[in-house]
Chain A
Amino acid sequence: MPISRRRIRLSAALAGAGLLISGCANPSVGNDRDDPTKPVTLTFWHGWSTPGEMKAINDSIARFEKLHRNITVKVVPNVTDETMNQALRAGGDDAPDVVSSFTTNNVGQYCSSGMWANLDRFMKKSGVDKEKVFPKTLLDYTSYQGKQCALPLLADSYGLYYNKDAFKKAGITRPPQTMSELKRDAVKLTRRAKDGSYQQVGFMPNFRLYQNSPDRMFAQWGPTYFDKHGKAQLAKDPATKKFFATQRELIEAQGGYGPLEKFRARFGEEMSSQNAFLTQKLAMHMDGEWRGLMLRQAKAKFGWDTAPMPVPDDQADTYGRGYLTGTVAGIAHSSQHQNAAWELVQFLTMNTEQVVRFANDIHNVPSTKAALKSPELDADPTFRTFLDIAQNRHSVAMPPSINGGQYVTALMDFSYDVEAGKVHDLDKGLRGLDAQIDADNLQSEN
């Protein structure tokens, strides 16, 4: 019958289309049955791109190849997380074996999706006790729901950079340690021209300034983003309201959101010689440990020093803490040479001499307990501040989430509205933020 034949054809076509579409969604799967002592070429993707960083990582690879004569490493620099994510999902022969990421935000995604291999079994095979090797905070941000699918490959900590000349001129003898001291000093350090416009701002708390994203500032309050069931709990955590209140107080004390934003819009690019701290438009500034090297290379025309970021007045005993993040490394799920890849990951992340040399070369914080205590580390006191922050037991890293940094962007959006004075009912707003984060997380779950 013509009609039933048409139906059969239509059904077959639809079934074929369905199979075709879903067939495109099968990534390749690797294995850990390779012999790491046999000759092999590994592909290593990383995000470093400046000449100094490239030299440091290439030197590291040369040291590895000297130790493992049978392994050749093909290094692919300047790879962003997006490129790596897409490549690993697509699979194929050109996909990397060893991968690294500049952000800890995506670790939850890597682990939950299985895109990065679980390293626990490799550590077990090698007899590595990870708790003895890595600081707890760093282990926390490289695992998700019990899966250690990444390991820290150097860390970054955030502290306060301050202009010593400006401090001297304002009669300030030491960096602020509490938020009320920060507000007091920031007001003293703020200078204006005759027409009322800013010449220098003491401390600009605006969330859009360079590294000032709210999650980093919020670390000083030691927040708890999620409850034990994984539900967002920013509205329930009293620290959240205190954090936003302090930020608004800092803004108001120095002239208000509008004028500060207007001044900020005139700053030069963060990594250029027009950086606002470098051009003395800011007397104090929150930044990562790498800024010190840049200030020295740019030959800053003023005396400067570093200190931990101030803490809330009611948590004065936690002074010394800061925000932690870092580069992470792992093994691609699609790698056919996972045992050889583990040799490279192990060398890069756990070999004390390697970790120290690499940390000194690119001016990052080392990520193992042994390396943090190494006498070979850069002795510069302005850098040592960040080593202490990294080891402080109150320091905070962002908890991994199933959808990467999506909850951070939700917090950022909300924070921009708060600092601009657009949120009139903070409690209601925070409940809405929690609901949003939960909805985003649910959307990412199966």
Chain B
Amino acid sequence: MAPLTPAPALRRKRTRKRLRTLGFLSPWLIGFSVFFGYPLIATVYFSFMHYNQIEPPDFVGLRNWKYVLTQMPLFGPALWNTLWLVVVMVALRVVFGLGIGMLVTKIKSGAGFFRTAFYLPYLAPPVAATVAFVFLLNPGTGPVNEILGAIGIPAPSWFNDADWAKPSLVMLSLWGIGDLMVIFMAALLDVPKEQYEAAELDGAGAWGKFRYVTWPSITPIVLFAVVTGVVQTMQYYTQALVAGKLASGVSISPGTVIQPGYPDHSTLTVPQLVYTLGFQNFNTGAACVLSLVLFVIAMAVTTLLMRKRAGLLPAED
């Protein structure tokens, strides 16, 4: 039987419709292709090449992959630190942000002052904020340890102690919680008051109101905060690099090799390793492998969270 083919007029109409749709989509398509599609394809391409950014690339098969996954000792610590920060920092930021958001929505007097006070640190540039934290937490000359010492509390070495360096970075991120506070504050103010009144009439206490009224209403926002937090923390770079360099106390002088991750690689994250490999050692292939590993992990975690989203969101009527 001969296939059914649409009439020429119908085909032209469909083509016009497709072109129109493409026309409307083109700004996004161009942006996506130039800033995401092309870099992604180039990253995959260079992950199989030996390329020092000056001589033409040479195909080396899986050599870069083998090097990163089996021969590079810093890959393990960097991945561990990144995942540690993703789990601990994102979780604490969400809990702390929600807590502060609830606090500032409950405050009756001086709410404006407290909202501003909690939001302001977020506006501080990351480098300046990190420098200030390293100065404040300097074990020898910083005021925090002096105060702790004066009141008899044993003072840790903060950014100079491998066990305390990551928690110190988490403290820094909690200090700049303003972004999440604003998002949660908006979500909390959006919860209908009638629902709280109904819950009160049903005898719900503070926990009951949070569990059965607040939480179901803000779950989409919490998910948003977690997903964006995971993606951002996967790219964690500036604060860790600046804190490590400053805390080491070493200045750049002739012949000085400053490694990221001080102390004991405890602040080394995958993005720092990507930069070191790609733009200090000019080992582009290995840097691309690391970037792809990071991309795959970020995609997997995001997909998992988005799939869980259906179970976490309240059932729609």
Task: Spell out A's residues near B (CB within 8 Å).
Answer: 17-18, 20-22, 24-27, 80, 82, 85-86, 88-89, 102-105, 109, 113-115, 156, 208, 210-211, 213, 216, 262, 265-271, 274, 288, 290, 325-327, 333, 398, 403-406, 408-409, 412-413, 416, 436, 439, 443-446
> Does B272 sit at the interface, judged by CB under 8 A?
no
Interface set, chain B 222-274, CB cutoff 8 A to A = 248-257, 259, 262-265
Q: List 18 A-B contacts (CB under 8 A).
A: A17-B41, A20-B38, A25-B51, A27-B54, A82-B279, A113-B52, A114-B54, A210-B249, A211-B250, A265-B157, A268-B249, A269-B251, A406-B281, A413-B73, A436-B71, A439-B71, A443-B286, A446-B50
> Does B21 sit at the interface, judged by CB under 8 A?
no
Contact B255 A270 (CB under 8 A): no
New A-B contacts (18) at CB < 8 Å, excluding given A109-B282, A413-B265, A445-B50: A27-B54, A82-B280, A103-B254, A103-B255, A103-B257, A105-B255, A115-B54, A210-B250, A265-B139, A265-B160, A266-B141, A274-B140, A403-B283, A416-B264, A439-B71, A443-B67, A443-B71, A443-B283
> Does B161 sit at the interface, judged by CB under 8 A?
yes
> Does B63 sit at the interface, judged by CB under 8 A?
yes
Known: A265-B140, A409-B259. A404 touches B280 (CB 8 A): yes
Contact B250 A270 (CB under 8 A): yes
- In the assembled complex, the Cα of A156 lies from the Cα of B253 at a distance in Å of 10
Task: Spell out B's residues near A (CB within 8 Å).
Answer: 38, 41-42, 45-46, 50-58, 63-64, 67, 71, 73-74, 139-141, 157, 160-161, 248-257, 259, 262-265, 279-283, 286
- In the assembled complex, the Cα of A216 lies from the Cα of B248 at a distance in Å of 17
Contact B54 A89 (CB under 8 A): yes
Majority secondary structure of chain B interface residues (helix, strand, loop or mixed): loop
- In the assembled complex, the Cα of A18 lies from the Cα of B49 at a distance in Å of 12
Shortest CB-to-CB span from A155 to chain B, Å, is 9
- In the assembled complex, the Cα of A271 lies from the Cα of B256 at a distance in Å of 14
Contact B58 A446 (CB under 8 A): yes
Contact A103 B281 (CB under 8 A): no
Contact B141 A268 (CB under 8 A): yes
Q: Which of B45, B52, B57 contacts A444 (CB 8 A)?
A: B52
Known: A21-B41, A26-B56, A208-B248. A408 touches B257 (CB 8 A): yes
Q: Which residues of B contact A327 (CB under 8 A)?
A: 254
Contact B55 A103 (CB under 8 A): no
Q: 6 smallest A-B Cβ distances: which pairs?
A: A266-B140, A325-B255, A265-B160, A89-B53, A405-B257, A439-B71
Q: Which of B140, B256, B264, B279 contacts A268 (CB 8 A)?
A: B140
